Amino acid sequence: MNTITTVSRPRWLSIVGLLGVVGMGFTVWLGLWVTPPDAVQGNLARLLYIHPPIATVALYWAGGVALAGSLLYLWPRTRSIFWDRLAASAVEVGAVFSALTCVTGSIWGRPAWGVWWAWDARLTSTALLLLLELGYLALRRVPADPAVRARRCAVAALLVAVDVPIVHFSVDWWQTLHQTGTVLDPGFHLHVHGSMAWTFLLGFISFSLIFVWLLAVRYRIEVIQDTVGDQEMEVSLADRWSEGSELVGIGSTSHQEPDGGAP
């Protein structure tokens, strides 16, 4: 069983979190004050220093960890509660970033496209990703045996993961309002240069580090929750056993023979 010692705070986690926050600060500084306005979009392009990194975390990092964790849980040889907890943590953090992807994209879309929202393939599949993640989190709250819950959630995470390539390729498969690759095209040719490119890169790294930090913290909460749940379950079972033995004791004494048979 997990104990409090297994959820102690590792030093590397604090360093990752600190680097993420510092990187984020530099991204904001470079994005808002140092980089020049875009030739076409003007200052609006500054939103793109955070929107694609947030979408990257939501789609590839969170989706990838959830998929890997769930597959490794479902695979009998690698089945471990660790993978279930990791996938659950990734989905929750991913849901936050998916929601932010929709919101920041919408804020950019209003002045750029003239609408807050359009039912195009990229936006719709991203909204679907968020709904699937919320569904996963709802499913996780349904009371069940831990093994049953883990198996159900692993299957649900596979459904979440199915949507990830759809979101990624939506701009290639369908004619969409959303532009194709923002930073790299399918031939891996860079579209951004100079200080804009460095700010983009820093944004990607910073949000990725923050994702790792959030994932680790969320994972630790999952461990503690399970530990408390186990502890309460054991106490509850012990109480039941105790009450049961007392009742059996009372029952057997009430049926004692007049000659005083042992209970």
Partner 1 sequence: MSYVDAGYTIALGTVFLYAIGLGLRRRRWERALKVAKDTEEPVVPGTRS
Residues making contact with partner 1 (CB under 8 A):
4, 7, 24, 28, 31-32, 43-44, 46-47, 50-51, 54, 96, 99-100, 103-104, 107-108, 110-111, 210, 213-214, 217-218, 220-221, 224-225, 227-228, 231-232, 234-235, 237-238, 241-242, 245-246
Q: How many other C-beta atoms lie within 10 A of the C-beta of residue 67?
A: 19
Judged by beta carbon, residue 14 or residue 78, the one nearer partner 1 is: 14
Counting Cα atoms < 13 Å in the Cβ hemisphere of 131 gives 7
Helix (H, G, I), strand (E, B) or coil at 120: coil
Residue 142 carries which side chain, given as an amino acid letter?
Answer: V
Minimum Å distance from CB 220 to partner 1?
6
Using the minimum distance from each CB to partner 1, give the nearer residue, 98 or 125: 98
- Structural Rg of the chain based on CA atoms: 26
Is 153 strand, coil or helix? helix
Angle in degrees, CA 51, 17, 105, rounded to 5: 10
Of 185 and 232, CB closest to partner 1 = 232
Nearer to partner 1, 195 or 242 (CB): 242
| Least separation in angstroms between CB 25 and partner 1 | 10
Give min distance, CB of 246 to partner 1, in A.
8
Instruction: CB nearer to partner 1: give 86 or 100.
Output: 100
Q: CB 245 → partner 1: shortest distance, Å?
A: 6
Q: Report, in Å, the least distance between residue 89 CB and partner 1.
A: 10
> Nearer Cβ to partner 1, position 140 or 220?
220
In the complex, what is the shortest distance from the CB of residue 261 to partner 1, in angstroms, rounded to a whole number?
A: 20
Burial class of 123 by CB neighbour count within 10 A (0 to 12, 13 to 18, 19+): buried
How far CA 15 is from CA of 20, 31, 212, in Å, comes to 8, 24, 11
CA-angle at 160, arms to 157 and 165, nearest 5°: 130
- Are the beta carbons of 152 and 201 closer than 8 angstroms? no
Angstrom distances, CA of residue 201 to CA of 49, 51, 245: 9, 12, 65
- Measured from the Cβ of residue 56, the count of other Cβ atoms closer than 10 Å reads 19
Least distance (Å) from partner 1 to the CB of residue 253? Answer: 14
Q: Which is nearer to partner 1, 32 or 162 (CB)?
A: 32
